[in-house]
Amino acid sequence: MNSIDVIIPVLNEEEFILQCLQSVLAFDRPPELMWRIFVIDGGSTDGTLEIVHKVVAGHPEVEVLANPERIQSCALNIALRRGRGEYVLRLDAHATYPCDYLVQCIQSAIASDADNVGGIFRTLPGADTYQAQVVQAVTTHRLGVGNAEFRLQPEPGPADTVPYGFFKRSVFERVGYFDERLVRNQDYELNRRIAASGGRIWLNPKIVVNYHNQPTIGGFLCKQFAKEGPYNAYLWYLAPYARAFRHVITGVFAAGVFGGIVCFFLSHILGIVFMSVMGLYLTLAILASIQQAARYKCAWHVATLPPIFFAFHFVHGLGVLSGLIRLALAIAPVQRIREPWLGYGAYRIRPKDVL
């Protein structure tokens, strides 16, 4: 392993970009290893670029590039086309990384010979407020994140996806770049495309990402409705090989709540069934809240988390349903962009002359 390209897309990240870049520049790395760091800015209107230029002054290995499309997947592809490293380390500006992060990635890549390796999220509050602590608690319990193992505490081994990723460059020559139609889920789609092509994704829990979550409950829920939910539906439409039930189960939940309310007024028996199901859900939410209250040593969580769990699942489900409706009406944003791949409906290979 002689060279690595590090890619960091940014857009209005003045609150986190300083810590992010400082942690990356402090990586332990073999002295013979060459690296280039690409910071790809999507048109930040805050102080992000000023901070970036101050931090990277005197670091010729860092190159700042523009991303006129403002979409993260576009930023990643810009750097992929420019870089020449044997491996590609994709990072996020909303996170910080321990000094052994790169070494752990290198060792895991060599030991597993996987096409992509990654680790787990250590989810941190996005601010020093109780709302941020609530978001942290909701997104670090299995009731909130389902079987997304990289958000929990998994064992090392094969995985369906990993956060960000440390890729062999050859994998992009084999299966193509990030799908620029996906504003969200572009990492998951690529990982599933790698697996569909016969490749392997490897998760090592010693690789740790310190991720700062949404600082407010309102911002967190808005993100679920406007981006996370709809793009889960769009992912199923664009990439059948990337389908996972956890991406749309909240849509089933939201539809069930609406249907249950209607049935409650139409049928006494169906109303009892609906109330029984909601009672079971409430019980699970209370148990999860008690666990998180003990985990984070915050008694308020017992009362606060149950309605937030419900709001999270319901609002995310509304986002999924809104995405499905847009797809049915052929007005989804992903349907307005020409299919950039060959072989729609299978894992997709991009022509070499387009790469």
**Furthest CA-CA distance within the chain:** 73
Rounded Cα gap, residues 95 and 209, in angstroms: 7
Average pLDDT, the chain: 89
Indicate the SS3 state at residue 155.
coil
More confident residue, 308 or 151: 308
**Whole-number Cα distances in Å, 353 to 82, 176, 219, 350:** 15, 11, 41, 8
Q: Cβ(186)–Cβ(76) under 8 Å? A: yes
- Cα–Cα dist 323/344, whole Å: 20
Average the pLDDT over 166-182 and give the result. Answer: 90
- Residue from 145, 133, 128, 123 nearest 312 by CA: 145
Cα–Cα distances in angstroms (integers) from residue 77 to residues 38, 90, 201, 270, in the given order = 11, 11, 20, 51
User: pLDDT tens digit string along 226-283?
Assistant: 999 999 999 988 888 888 888 889 999 999 999 999 988 888 888 899 999 999 999 9
Instruction: Pick the range with the lowest mean pLDDT from 148-152, 248-252, 293-297.
Output: 148-152
229 and 322 Cβ atoms separated by less than 8 Å: yes
- pLDDT for the residue 354: 38
Strand pairing of 95-96 and 3-10? unpaired
User: What's residue 355's pLDDT?
Assistant: 37
**HEC states along 164-220?**
CCEEEHHHHHHHCCCCCCCCCCHHHHHHHHHHHCCCCEEEEEEEEEEEECCCCHHHH
Statement: residue 132 has pLDDT above 60: yes
Closest of 112, 82, 92 to residue 172, by C-alpha = 82
350 pLDDT band, cuts 50/70/90, is very low
Give the pLDDT band (50/70/90) at residue 148: low
| pTM, entire model | 0.87
Confidence band for 352, pLDDT divided at 50, 70 and 90: very low
**Secondary structure letter of residue 154 according to DSSP:** P
pLDDT at position 143 over 60: yes
Rounded distance between C-alpha atoms, residue 282 and residue 303, angstroms: 12
Burial category of 348 from C-beta neighbours within 10 Å (exposed 0-12, middle 13-18, buried 19 and up): buried
What domains lie within the chain, and their CATH numbers?
Answer: 1-96 (3.90.550.10)
pLDDT in tens, 1-24: 689 999 999 999 999 999 999 999
Highest mean pLDDT among 144-158, 274-288, 341-355: 274-288
Which residues on neighbouring strands pair with residue 319, listed in sequence order? none
